[in-house]
Amino acid sequence: MRAYRLAAVRQGMTDQSLIETALREYLGLNALKDLQASFSHLELTGDEADRLAVVTVRSVRRERAKPQPETASARASR
Protein backbone atom coordinates (compact mmCIF):
# COMPACT_ATOMS: atom_id res chain seq x y z
CA MET A 1 0.00 0.00 0.00
CA ARG A 2 2.86 2.35 0.77
CA ALA A 3 4.18 2.07 -2.79
CA TYR A 4 0.74 2.87 -4.19
CA ARG A 5 0.39 5.89 -1.94
CA LEU A 6 3.83 7.14 -2.93
CA ALA A 7 3.02 6.73 -6.63
CA ALA A 8 -0.29 8.53 -6.09
CA VAL A 9 1.42 11.44 -4.35
CA ARG A 10 3.90 11.70 -7.22
CA GLN A 11 0.96 11.96 -9.62
CA GLY A 12 -0.74 14.57 -7.46
CA MET A 13 -3.52 12.22 -6.31
CA THR A 14 -5.08 12.47 -2.87
CA ASP A 15 -5.64 9.39 -0.71
CA GLN A 16 -9.34 9.64 -1.52
CA SER A 17 -8.80 9.65 -5.27
CA LEU A 18 -6.36 6.72 -4.91
CA ILE A 19 -9.00 4.72 -3.06
CA GLU A 20 -11.72 5.66 -5.56
CA THR A 21 -9.49 4.63 -8.46
CA ALA A 22 -8.68 1.31 -6.80
CA LEU A 23 -12.36 0.63 -6.14
CA ARG A 24 -13.33 1.47 -9.72
CA GLU A 25 -10.72 -0.98 -10.97
CA TYR A 26 -11.69 -3.68 -8.48
CA LEU A 27 -15.40 -3.36 -9.19
CA GLY A 28 -14.89 -3.21 -12.93
CA LEU A 29 -16.43 0.22 -13.26
CA ASN A 30 -13.67 1.36 -15.59
CA ALA A 31 -14.57 -1.50 -17.90
CA LEU A 32 -18.17 -0.28 -17.92
CA LYS A 33 -17.05 3.28 -18.60
CA ASP A 34 -14.86 2.10 -21.49
CA LEU A 35 -17.72 0.06 -22.88
CA GLN A 36 -20.06 3.01 -22.59
CA ALA A 37 -17.62 5.19 -24.50
CA SER A 38 -17.26 2.61 -27.26
CA PHE A 39 -21.05 2.41 -27.67
CA SER A 40 -21.81 6.11 -27.16
CA HIS A 41 -22.89 6.46 -30.78
CA LEU A 42 -25.74 3.97 -30.22
CA GLU A 43 -29.06 5.06 -28.88
CA LEU A 44 -30.01 2.42 -26.32
CA THR A 45 -33.21 2.20 -24.35
CA GLY A 46 -32.92 1.90 -20.59
CA ASP A 47 -33.62 -1.84 -20.76
CA GLU A 48 -31.02 -2.37 -23.48
CA ALA A 49 -28.44 -0.43 -21.49
CA ASP A 50 -29.25 -2.47 -18.38
CA ARG A 51 -28.83 -5.75 -20.28
CA LEU A 52 -25.54 -4.57 -21.74
CA ALA A 53 -24.30 -3.58 -18.26
CA VAL A 54 -25.26 -6.96 -16.81
CA VAL A 55 -23.48 -8.82 -19.61
CA THR A 56 -20.38 -6.70 -19.12
CA VAL A 57 -20.28 -7.16 -15.34
CA ARG A 58 -20.70 -10.92 -15.71
CA SER A 59 -17.89 -11.00 -18.24
CA VAL A 60 -15.55 -9.11 -15.91
CA ARG A 61 -16.45 -11.42 -13.02
CA ARG A 62 -15.78 -14.52 -15.15
CA GLU A 63 -12.36 -13.15 -16.07
CA ARG A 64 -11.55 -12.53 -12.42
CA ALA A 65 -12.70 -16.01 -11.43
CA LYS A 66 -10.28 -17.70 -13.81
CA PRO A 67 -7.30 -19.29 -12.05
CA GLN A 68 -4.22 -17.12 -12.36
CA PRO A 69 -0.99 -18.68 -13.61
CA GLU A 70 1.48 -19.40 -10.86
CA THR A 71 4.24 -16.83 -10.65
CA ALA A 72 7.94 -17.68 -10.37
CA SER A 73 8.09 -16.12 -6.89
CA ALA A 74 5.22 -18.35 -5.71
CA ARG A 75 7.01 -21.45 -7.01
CA ALA A 76 10.26 -20.36 -5.37
CA SER A 77 8.64 -19.95 -1.97
CA ARG A 78 7.67 -23.64 -1.76
Q: What would the pLDDT profile of 4-33 be if each residue is shown by its tens digit?
A: 778 888 888 888 888 888 888 888 777 777
What integer best gives the mean pLDDT of the chain?
Answer: 82
| Total number of domains in the chain | 1
Q: Which bin fits 45, alpha (ψ -120 to 50), beta or left (φ > 0)?
A: beta
- The answer to whether position 78 is within a domain reads no
- The answer to whether position 44 is within a domain reads yes
- The answer to whether position 7 is within a domain reads yes
pTM over 0.75: no
- The answer to whether position 60 is within a domain reads yes
Average pLDDT, integer, range 49-60: 90
- The answer to whether position 42 is within a domain reads yes
CA-based Rg of the chain, rounded to a whole angstrom? 17
- The answer to whether position 57 is within a domain reads yes
